[in-house]
Amino acid sequence: MKITDLRLTVVGIPRHTGFVNKHVIVELFTNEGITGIGEMSDFSHLPRYAVDIKDLANVLKSMLVGKNPFDISLINKELLDNFPEAMYYYEKGSFIRNGIDAALHDLCGKYLNISVAELLGGRYQEKIKVCYPIFRHRFIEEVEENLEVVRQRYAQGFDVFRLYAGKNVDADEAFLDAVQQEFGSEVKIKSLDFSHLLDWKESLKIVKRLSKYDFEMVESPAVRNDFDGLYHIRTRIDHPISEHVWSNRQQYEMIKRDSVDIYNISPIFIGGITAAKKAASAAEVVGKSVLLGTTQELSIGTAAMAHLGGTLLNLNYTSDPTGPELYVGDVVKNKIQYIDGYLHVPDRSLPGLGVELDWDLIEKYRIDDLSWGDVTVHQLQDRTAQVK
């Protein structure tokens, strides 16, 4: 089997918050008539530069056409040479590598008539506990809005939530107090997620202030790549520290300094299923647990994470991929399934990633390119339609 062509299609799909995310749908065509699909998720984030989609398609064709899609390691090596790691977790090169790597896995699974989870070594679990995100409070008035999100999602089966924290601590505290008063032990807060927006000392003050409330972990409580800062806060609080993995070098530095307790692994941030599997294995070797992170993908990207997560022996914490629930639409016929707060790995009878493109939906959301509209840094960080 040889790759004969590639197509990239850009879509822009609004979240329920009103913010429109741009994604790239990947298709790899072969001489066997089998097509592999992938997703380059969430180009609508900092750093604020746009990839030229036509140029990107030509570059990728020059690299992939004629290749055997089963040469996944060799192709990933070439992708990494052309789109190198940059020690930044929203690096666009990682998004590109991730989309191609997912399409390769989908293609190989379809050819063998097995699911991607089986291709990766077999399933350890069929469903993954996930949390729903509560976006960062800027104003105290947003507390009631976020409480209503909890009510609605709890009614749908989500009983664990992740709070983006640190911008308005009074509002964060009011929210946590209200959740505790209204729901008691029926609703859990997975984490306070600081998203690298504060230094570790400032995050430490907030964690201590909010520690009277019940939450499981603290995520990204230091500026990016401050490995010593992560270690300092880890040794000063009782909660475990979680951090994203966005490069081999960055994970090495965190392992060397024993900076974190839980490695947040996501194909989008480290450049694909192949790289994410290696990162999870590295964590396992040093006796650390992992959780599945997210940039809030559509169903294709989320399916890739579900298959990966289904194979991980050290996936011991509630994970984050709830992207398909955050958007008003999708691009597949069979949207990924959430039942009682669990992300379900697509059925093993469905080959590859187990999702099928819906071209009516793709045409509905298709846009020309990845160019930027009139957005602010706050919108890009908090994924809201506008700043009040």
Positions marked active-site: 90, 164
Task: Compute the distance between CA of residue 217 and CA of residue 317 in angstroms, rounded to an integer.
Answer: 10
Nearest to 131 by CA among 323, 262, 319, 304: 319
Task: Assign 3-class secondary structure to 166-218.
Answer: CCCHHHHHHHHHHHHHHHHHHCEEEEEECCCCCCHHHHHHHHHHHCCCCEEEE
Give yes or no for a contact between 41 and 330, defined as CB atoms under 8 angstroms apart.
no
Give yes or no for a contact between 299 and 324, defined as CB atoms under 8 angstroms apart.
yes
At 135 the three-state DSSP class reads: coil
Burial 122-150, CB ≥16 within 10 A → b, else e = eeeeebbbbbbbbbbbeeeebbeebbebb
Nearest to 88 by CA among 56, 48, 134: 48
Task: Compute the distance between CA of residue 222 and CA of residue 202 in angstroms, rounded to an integer.
Answer: 9
Give yes or no for a contact between 164 and 382, defined as CB atoms under 8 angstroms apart.
yes
Sign of CA dihedral 266, 269, 273, 277: negative
Give yes or no for a contact between 299 and 332, defined as CB atoms under 8 angstroms apart.
yes
Nearest to 369 by CA among 95, 9, 7: 9
E strand or H helix that includes residue 273? helix 273-285
DSSP string, 41-107: ---SSSS-----HHHHHHHHHHHHTT--TT-HHHHHHHHHHHS---S-TT-HHHHHHHHHHHHHHHH
E strand or H helix that includes residue 361? helix 359-365
Give yes or no for a contact between 234 and 203, defined as CB atoms under 8 angstroms apart.
no
